A and B are shown apart, each in its own frame.
Chain A
Amino acid sequence: MAAKESKLNEVVLQGNEACAKGALYAGCRFFAGYPITPSTEIIEMMSGEMQKAGGAFIQMEDEIGSACAIIGARWGGSKAMTATSGPGYTLMQEAIGFAAVTETPIVIVNVQRGGPSTGQPTLSSQQDVYQARYGSHGDYEIIVLAPSSVQEMYDFTVRAFELAEQYRTPVILLADEVVGHMREKIVIKDGSKNIKSVKQQYVVSPQADFFKGEFTTVEGQLHDEQGRRIGHIANKSGEFIYNINKKITDNIDGIADITTYCMEDADVAIVAYGSVARPALNAVKHARGVKDDRIAPKFKIVKDLMTRGIQKTIKTDYSHLKVGLVKINSVWPIPEDLLRQATERVDTVIVPEMNVGKYCREVERVLKDKKVIPMSKCGGDIHTPIEILDKILEVTGIEEEVDINE
């Protein structure tokens, strides 16, 4: 799986490999993991590259052990990451809460597969979007990034390490099987980025890395500035919980990240995250008449109509649809202000998701005054651009205009 490197540092990589490369560039020097489809390429690449980079790698006995080991390593001073998928991610939840409460900067990659339970090991989904946010018990806030391309697998991994260190919190890279396994040409950087750690400033001090003579106590029970337990004191515990949440919610501006496309004059917005943002972008390009060799819409139209039993070669005209895309890069905390601003001029918002329709509820909450339409797709297939455009035709009530050719 050696990448072909060119002079410009342009390489063809698989998403999972790009994630591993991004972590190494971000200065990650500890990886603990347990193999699980469809994330396994990350641990495979780390098992060799991490040690070549002078870091440490360990294949743990399970996923909760992996999550615990990276927390231990981070207190030892190494930036640390683990990668997993559905069942393994569930197994890590207790450690994620521990990292949140102890303000340990770690990065956890969840290359989502279909669930529940063993589910669909080899197919994609976005079913963990709530688990990424609410997975561990108790009240805490967390940062979750959702990459939609191989380049973003690389860039967002680096960003995840930055955010983790900046806000002293676990950061989840919520990828999925589609972006994990696809191959694309991307640009990677040489060397290693110097990401500075922020010394604890929100809830607990001294919180120095270990062996600095500061006698840091890393305590999972709610604790005071000296790491002493306060779990039995109601008012102090309440303050702790508010502080640990406010640390993230008060800093949304520094975390929130969206990308918009053709939203300036849009009447309808697609709000998407992760790999589903790809067909969504494709749909917008098609409706807007943007030439893009990679999207081949005509073929898809024909195929799509054929499956519906229509005999004639029919081309549906979507060119009257003023569609735009809002791609959510930082899924949690939900970038409320950016989302509101971006969708200011539209009345209708379509939210395609590879789950039963989860994030659309959040979008609905944020965009109370708009018509928010969920577009759920379960089973492992990603939405096609045409499905998305057809959905828009359906919900906007604009009659389908058809050209019958020949």
Chain B
Amino acid sequence: MNKLYEKYIKKESLPNLFCPGCGNGIIQIAAMDAMEKLNCKDDVACVSGIGCSSWIPCYYKLDVIHSMHGRALAFAEGLKLARPDKKILVFTGDGDCMAIGGNHLLHAAQRNIDLTVVMVNNYIYGMTGGQKSPTTPIGAKTKTSPFGCIDEPMNACKLVMSLGASYVARWTTAHPVQLAKAIAEGMDHKGFSFIEVLSQCPVQAGKNVWGEKEPAKIMAKYKEVTYLYKLGSNDPTGAMAEKNAEGKIPIGLFKNDENAQEYLERVEAKLAESGIAR
């Protein structure tokens, strides 16, 4: 075990239950890097929902709520309101966050409540064996779309940006350094920070979604199908687009609004305005 692992991973919780080649390990390390960078381990608690990616924090030497399917954000909001001085890091997946948990995502983003959300998008329901998720690409054959998926995939970053989320970024497991930096920035940011990670599920999504089972090759594909969006540039496509003219998915930092008032700041301001001493 290297030093970072010793500091952050509960040895007795190993081995983890991730499949070989899963992107969760990369994301787990990226978040460890981010906490190390901020030197904030003692002030962090994690909340996750249900699904493969929601197991990521369960191996950390941290306080963790491995909550219910779709409800991670609701648990996290309660925890944050009880302990406004602490950083709450949420791990969720595409189905957990946008399908069953969609309502909580809308409202947490709209509130701009100070949480950092890492949404692992593997384009599939992996744990249940490969059924379509809200992000499954159109045409992809899955266990519940045997003739090909007919729904346009949902764009989580676009959704939360259109609401009140004040820090929004998208990276892939092929960009672990940038991902760690984004998680650190998100945790440092006061407000709703949303980081989508395009991840590989070689077992359930590999062949049917990407035509490729090799994890390394799926990751190489992520580099091919994405392009770096530069915040503040005159990118004609914009961060909210699904794809640019060349058919590539934007990645990078999409939004970083330092001036947006956070939920608890607004609560306290209103109480002060009403003359309520706390």
Which residues of A approach B to under 8 Å, CB–CB? 29-30, 32, 51-52, 54, 56, 58, 60-62, 64-66, 68-78, 80, 94-95, 98, 210-211, 213-221, 226-228
Select one of A72, A213, A227 contacting B75, CB under 8 A: A72
A210 and B66 within 8 A (CB): no
B74, B75, B77: most-surrounded residue (chain A CB, <10 A): B74
Using Cβ atoms and an 8 Å threshold, which residues of chain B touch A227? Answer: 64
Q: Which of B3-25 contact A (CB under 8 A)?
A: 10, 12-13
With A61-B103, A61-B106, A62-B103 as given contacts, are A75 and B65 in contact (CB-CB < 8 Å)? yes
At the interface with chain A, which of B80-88, B119-127, B163-171?
B80-88
Question: Contact check: which of A68, A70, A78, A228 meets B13 at CB < 8 Å?
Answer: A228
Binds A, one of B26-34, B55-63, B139-147: B55-63
**Chain B 92-117 interface mask (CB, 8 Å, partner A; 1/0):** 00000000000110110000000000
The answer on a CB contact under 8 Å between A68 and B12 is no
Interface centre among A29, A68, A213, A220 (most CB of B within 10 A): A68
Q: Is the CB of A72 within 8 A of B13?
A: no
Judge whether B78 is part of the interface by a CB distance below 8 angstroms: yes
B225 to chain A: which residues have CB within 8 Å? none
Are A69 and B83 also in contact (CB < 8 A) when A52-B276, A210-B63 are?
A: no
Chain B residues with Cβ below 8 Å from A226 are 10, 12-13
Q: CA A51 – CA B81 in complex, angstroms?
A: 11
Tell whether A56 pairs with B68 under 8 Å between CB atoms, given A65-B103, A72-B75, A226-B13: no
26 intermolecular pairs with C-beta atoms under 8 Å apart: A30-B82, A32-B77, A51-B271, A56-B81, A61-B103, A61-B104, A61-B107, A65-B74, A65-B104, A69-B77, A71-B67, A71-B78, A72-B78, A73-B79, A76-B83, A78-B81, A78-B82, A94-B68, A211-B42, A211-B43, A217-B64, A217-B66, A218-B64, A218-B67, A219-B66, A226-B12
The listed residue with most B CB atoms (<10 A of its CB), out of A61, A62, A72, is A72
Residues of B within 8 A of A65 (CB): 71, 74, 77, 103-104, 107
Residue A215 contacts which of B62, B66, B71, B278 (CB distance < 8 angstroms)?
Answer: B62
Give CA–CA (A75, B81) in the complex, Å. 11
User: Does B86 lie within 8 Å of A211, measured CB to CB?
Assistant: yes
B33 to chain A, nearest CB (A): 19
**Minimum CB distance partner of B71 in chain A:** A68
Cβ-Cβ contact count across A and B, 8 Å cutoff: 133
Contacts of B251 in A (CB 8 A): none
B205 is an interface residue with CB less than 8 A from chain A:
no
Q: Which residue of A is nearest B113, CB measured?
A: A58
* B42-A213 in contact (CB<8A): yes
Write out the residue numbers on chain A whose beta carbons fall within 8 Å of the beta carbon of B52.
none
A-B pairs with the 3 shortest C-beta distances?
A: A76-B82, A72-B78, A69-B78
Q: Which residues of A contact B63 (CB under 8 A)?
A: 75, 210-211, 214-218
Apart from the given pairs A32-B78, A76-B82, 10 other A-B contacts in the complex at a CB distance below 8 Å: A32-B77, A61-B103, A64-B74, A72-B65, A76-B79, A94-B68, A211-B42, A215-B10, A218-B66, A219-B58
Bound form: Cα–Cα A220–B271 in Å? 36
Interface centre among B82, B83, B107 (most CB of A within 10 A): B82
Q: Is the CB of A211 within 8 A of B45?
A: yes
Which partner residue on chain A sits nearest B103 by CB separation?
Answer: A61
Asked whether A217 lies within 8 Å of B82 as measured between CB atoms, the reply is no
Closest residue of chain B to A56, judged by CB? B81
Specify which chain B residues have a CB less than 8 angstroms from the CB of A214 in the assembled complex: 63
- The answer to whether A221 touches B271, judged by C-beta atoms less than 8 angstroms apart, is no
Cβ-defined contact, A218 with B65, below 8 A:
yes
Q: B253: which A residues are within 8 A, CB to CB?
A: none
**Considering the chains assembled together, what is the distance between the CA atoms of A76 and B43 in angstroms?**
12
B182 within 8 Å of A (CB atoms): no
A76, B46: Cα distance in complex, Å: 12
A299-B263 Cα distance, complex, nearest whole Å? 57
Residues of A within 8 A of B103 (CB): 61-62, 65
Determine whether the beta carbon of A30 is less than 8 Å from that of B62. no
- Determine whether the beta carbon of A221 is less than 8 Å from that of B66: yes
Interface presence of B209 (CB below 8 A):
no
**Is A68 within 8 A of B83, CB to CB?**
no
Given contacts A69-B74, A95-B68, A226-B13, contact A75 B58 (CB under 8 A): no
Complex-state Cα separation, A219 to B80, whole angstroms: 18
